[in-house]
Structure 1
Amino acid sequence: MLLSVGELIDSTLFENAILKTGEQTLTDKPVEWISVMESPVENFVRENEFVLSTGIGCHENTEELLSFIKDVYDSGASALAIATGRYIFEIPEEVIQFAADRNFIIIELPWEIRFADIVHEVMTKLNELKQNETTRFKEMQQQLIQKVLEGKTLEHITHYIEQELSQSVLICNEKKEPIAGSANPNDVFALWDQMRTSINESHYPKHSEIQQLDSGSVQLIHLNIQSDVGHKGDFFILSDSDKRLNEHDLMIAEQAVVAAALWFSRNSAVIEAESRMQNEFLLGLAKGEMMSEEHVASHAEFFRYNLDLPYLCIIGFPENLNDSTGHESSLNESGRTRLDRMSIYIKEGLLYAGENVQRQVLFAHEHDKVIVFLEATNKITADAVNQFLDLVERRFTHLLPGVLFSWGIGMDRDGIRNFASCFQKAKAALEMGRSQRGIGKRTYFDETQINRLLLNLAGNEEVRDITISTLSPLVEYDEKREMDLIKTFVAYNNNNGNVSQTARELNLHRQSLLYRLRKIESLTNLSLVDPDDLFLLNFSIRVWSTGAIKKG
């Protein structure tokens, strides 16, 4: 609520005052503060200020008085009350005519009325209104917070704000997408573009963070929606230019922005919790964890998973995540944290590809790996899988520029509910592909018989013991020195023992390569010129690369 000039002069203090001009605007002109002002005015009078004056300095000078009143009017004052009987005995007709032509309120005060009494009267009424307003805003703040905590939609909240403001509003998310409010997005964005390309100074001294743009018959008010983690979105008020927001409206707008920030934070927390549950559920299926039928059915229904379809598993590994996300972040974040941060883009790319090939896609991630279950109805072929991955990688070039993925693909011919079997095959295919063929490749578990043989052999206890005893010294050394002796041997063996060719492939000096090869022999007690020793070392690495055996 606001104090109007009409309410003010209705008090007993003004019963002997004479309203000279502006009767039509008495109820429309708000009073936000009061001051005593004499010439010159300069910039000492604020908008909506009730000005008291004795006219000193304008004694018997009509031109000086008219100039003074023009300055007060131009400042945006609500009204001017002139005390007559000492310096000005009668307000000149020229002054009356100037004010009447502009519906500017001029009040003639008897000299006997003390300005101190008027100031006290106005401040008392303003303080009462302020207290009532504070109570009202606390109630409104509580209502807005309650709506957020009750899980009301943002549309519900904007409807409440629009009723309070009697203006249309629009809320956009951090991607500049309209998500709530009745204001026309096209009109808002057109004005917003103008606002961002021009230098804007706030018209509201106490609300400098508010931006405003007047364009013809409409005006746009903009506030940032911020939370403790940064920019969350934008809040707009679209109104007619002649309906300038007052202090009351601005406080409502700021409360709305606080509520919107709280809603965004709560929504993010809900989505994050839901995503975490979804991820854990799918990982449980992939790892073959024991879950009751009721548990599986309820979660599948909640996440809208159709588990009665057959699926194949695809596991992706981002090879150069550190380089693509920046050196500084790679020093302070784990691979899991970076993948968590990127998961929204990965999910978007996978769902985009799934929609294009018209197959359901289930998505999860664990540590540094992306796990995908792709619907495998209608006897899906390798060409169909390649089409899907082509779409995924094409999308990733825009969402995750510079990130190179290696892929392992595992299929199961036994129908539905074989998530664990497909997962193990895809995992083995990924490990063997990266080890044997290099990074950035797609490896199908079923494309060679040797892969199935190696995976089966990895389950044999004696083979496991031989593999671990053979490779443990190399693995331990690589963990301490980061020399990657296993990768060195694979390259050497693939190049049929050609040292020069291997050095070029690994981008090593010849002497550095020879040092590594001697280190492999000393750690394993195997000779790289003995065919049996070469076979044992190569076989152990091939079994190890299935991922089915872990040291210790």
Structure 2
Amino acid sequence: MLLSVKEITDSCLFKNATLKTGEETISNKSVEWVSVMESPVENFVRENEFVLSTGIGCHENSDELLSFIKDVYDSGATALAIATGRYIFEIPEEVIQFAEDREFIIIELPWEIRFADIVHEVMNKLNELKQSETMRFREVQQQLIQKVLEGRTLEHISGFVEQELSRSVLICNEKRQPIAGSADPDEVFTLWKQVEEKSATHESNHPRHAEIKKVESGNVELIHLNIQSDVGRKGDFFILSESGNRMKEQEMMIAEQAVVAAALWFTRNSAVIEAESRMQNEFLLGLAKGETMSEEHVASHAEFFKYNLDLPYLCIIGFPEDLKDSIDHNAAPDESRRTKLDRVAIYIKEGMLYAGENVQRQVLFAYESDQVIVFVEASSSPAPDAVNQFLDLVERRFSHLLPGVTFSWGIGMNKDGVRNFSGSFQKATAALEMGRTQRGIGKRTYFDETQMNRLMLNLAGNEEVKDITISTVSPLVEYDEKREMDLIKTFITYNNNNGNVSQTARELNLHRQSLLYRLRKIESLTKLSLVNPDDLFLLNFSIRVWSTGVIKMKTGHLTHKWDRND
């Protein structure tokens, strides 16, 4: 769905405006942005932009005005609305002629109309369209998933996709044998042979579009997507359409969800693969947690899963902060919790494997409860550079597969080495807990960022330190669980601001009196004074040790876990 210029000008704000040019195209020209622009234009106007101007730099100079309008037109703008009465009193005839020759829309606005009101009106209309598109995409996404869960045939699924895209499709298995879709296999394979004989043309650098290959022949365009499951390639998804009818972003997203649905269909029909995936997960978790396993057991499983354990690996742990809400919002009412989580796990693993292929690194993946555990082959590059490249790809992938979900990441050390899965896992776990507690959600925290992290992790293993930490921190945690006041975050922010109440209140977006109430509550619960240096040190020390994540108390708030078997 697109917003046309006519839909904008039909607003009551434009009742006294005059359409000077573009009457024949006003219903067909789409608007994606709105801006206020004066000369010079340079590269500040985007394609399909609705531009507002007072012509302030062109006062009584028709040549300057014509030059300005040429620049706006050349930038790809959809329409230009000029407020007359202050700097421009009448739009010159040569400007009108220029616009008419190019079917460019020019609107004359009375000076009294405020640009802010127009911008507000246009943005509201664009937001409404965006929300409508998002809702429609989620509906299609859910219907595709539901068809797989209901056990519908792949032919039924392909028919649904063809109706949504208004294009014919062809779905093939991993041997490239046609199994569903109405597209002519001979036509598809003839076109696809041209792609295989030449270097494939990528659609863009976008993480999704980078997997899409296309070829044009005559008036036909063939688009190809790989069908990828949690254990590898499962087949091909082809889309046939007319060359001039390019797929829009929304259609591309539907196509990707169709590919995901096809992958789920293949996976659902393979109980052996599902069992293998569980074994794979359990094996990697065993390595990560340092479980005792014989050399023969490790070697046989590594060979079976095609794991090269003789490479150096770096552990990365991801925590999806709002995954539970996202799943509950998008899932069908009668869908079980386990089914929801298994479906999302496929999305997550697919994204991880995709990123690993793009950075050309071995990736070992597992998940436990709400945590994503990944061992990525370490490289000679500095750790942050390599890890950031990997996680950038992962997050861009997740933004489409899991819209609305934010991940926090904990990263071990690049030099952890060969077969040090347990050590790197512990460091990544500690980094994740410290990052979430001290820096907030949605951050990437490296264990080796500071020496303090290592010190606190070692101290957390001492029994006396554990006792002191639990007795000091547990009253705050228990109170936070009951009242959701987040006293720990309040103290960390207060301490980071060196006790500056005003600065802390601003950072937490709290009223000064509300902050003072929280600080007094911290003192009363811990029996420690925030003005006593020794008490302040003890409280800061205890919270830092607790933030390593090594010390677990019997409270859901501390572990932040939710049970997969609910």
TM-score in terms of structure 1 length: 0.52
The answer (yes or no) to whether the contact 2:172–2:180 under 8 Å persists in 1 is no
Partner of 1:392: 394
Shift of 1:431: 1.0
Structure-2 change in CA distance of 1:509 and 1:315 (3 Å) = same
Secondary structure at 2:269 match in 1 = helix
Shift of 1:378: 3.5
- Once the two structures are superposed, residues 287-324 of structure 1 have per-residue CA deviations (whole angstroms, 9 ceiling, x without a partner) of 00011112111211121111111100001111222454
Structure-2 change in CA distance of 1:338 and 1:316 (3 Å) = farther
Q: Which runs of no fewer than 5 residues in structure 2 stay unpaired?
A: 1-152, 162-168, 188-261, 555-566
Shift of 1:494: 1.8
Shift of 1:515: 2.4
Structure-2 change in CA distance of 1:527 and 1:399 (3 Å) = same
Partner of 1:488: 490
Measure, in 2, the Cα distance between the counterparts of 1:404 and 1:536: 33
Shift of 1:265: 8.0
RMSD: 3.8
Measure, in 1, the Cα distance between the counterparts of 2:421 and 2:268: 33
Aligned pair partner of 1:285 in 278, 287, 291: 287
Question: What are the within-5 Å matches in structure 2 for residues 85-100 of structure 1?
Answer: none
Which letter does structure 2 place at the counterpart of 1:515?
Y
TM-score in terms of structure 2 length: 0.51
The answer (yes or no) to whether the contact 1:336–1:366 under 8 Å persists in 2 is no
Which letter does structure 2 place at the counterpart of 1:492?
Y
- Once the two structures are superposed, residues 237-294 of structure 1 have per-residue CA deviations (whole angstroms, 9 ceiling, x without a partner) of xxxxxxxxxxxxxxxxxxxxxxx9xx96862533332222111111110000011112
Which letter does structure 2 place at the counterpart of 1:445?
F
1:449 matched to 2:445? The reply is no
Secondary structure at 1:301 match in 2 = helix
Shift of 1:474: 1.4
Question: What are the within-5 Å matches in structure 2 for residues 189-338 of structure 1?
Answer: 267-325=269-327, 327=329
Secondary structure at 1:288 match in 2 = coil
1:478 matched to 2:472? The reply is no
Structure-2 change in CA distance of 1:485 and 1:286 (3 Å) = same
Question: What are the within-5 Å matches in structure 2 for residues 133-212 of structure 1?
Answer: 177-179=171-173, 187-188=183-184
Partner of 1:548: 550
Measure, in 1, the Cα distance between the counterparts of 2:330 and 2:482: 23
Measure, in 2, the Cα distance between the counterparts of 1:184 and 1:447: 52
Structure-2 change in CA distance of 1:281 and 1:380 (3 Å) = farther
1:434 matched to 2:430? The reply is no
Aligned pair partner of 2:424 in 422, 425, 428: 422
Structure-2 change in CA distance of 1:400 and 1:170 (3 Å) = closer
Measure, in 2, the Cα distance between the counterparts of 1:185 and 1:313: 42
Which letter does structure 1 place at the counterpart of 2:371?
K
Measure, in 1, the Cα distance between the counterparts of 2:378 and 2:368: 23
Which letter does structure 1 place at the counterpart of 2:315?
C
Measure, in 1, the Cα distance between the counterparts of 2:292 and 2:487: 39
Partner of 2:385: 383
Shift of 1:546: 0.4
- Once the two structures are superposed, residues 412-440 of structure 1 have per-residue CA deviations (whole angstroms, 9 ceiling, x without a partner) of 63531100000000111111112222221
Secondary structure at 1:351 match in 2 = helix
Partner of 2:503: 501
- Once the two structures are superposed, residues 67-101 of structure 1 have per-residue CA deviations (whole angstroms, 9 ceiling, x without a partner) of xxxxxxxxxxxxxxxxxxxxxxxxxxxxxxxxxxx
Structure-2 change in CA distance of 1:456 and 1:348 (3 Å) = same
Secondary structure at 1:187 match in 2 = coil
Specify the structure having the higher radius of gyration (Cα).
Answer: 1
The answer (yes or no) to whether the contact 1:346–1:396 under 8 Å persists in 2 is yes
Measure, in 1, the Cα distance between the counterparts of 2:478 and 2:494: 20
Structure-2 change in CA distance of 1:493 and 1:332 (3 Å) = farther
Secondary structure at 1:520 match in 2 = helix
Measure, in 1, the Cα distance between the counterparts of 2:318 and 2:377: 17
Partner of 2:57: none
Which letter does structure 2 place at the counterpart of 1:187?
A
Structure-2 change in CA distance of 1:266 and 1:386 (3 Å) = closer
The answer (yes or no) to whether the contact 2:159–2:181 under 8 Å persists in 1 is no
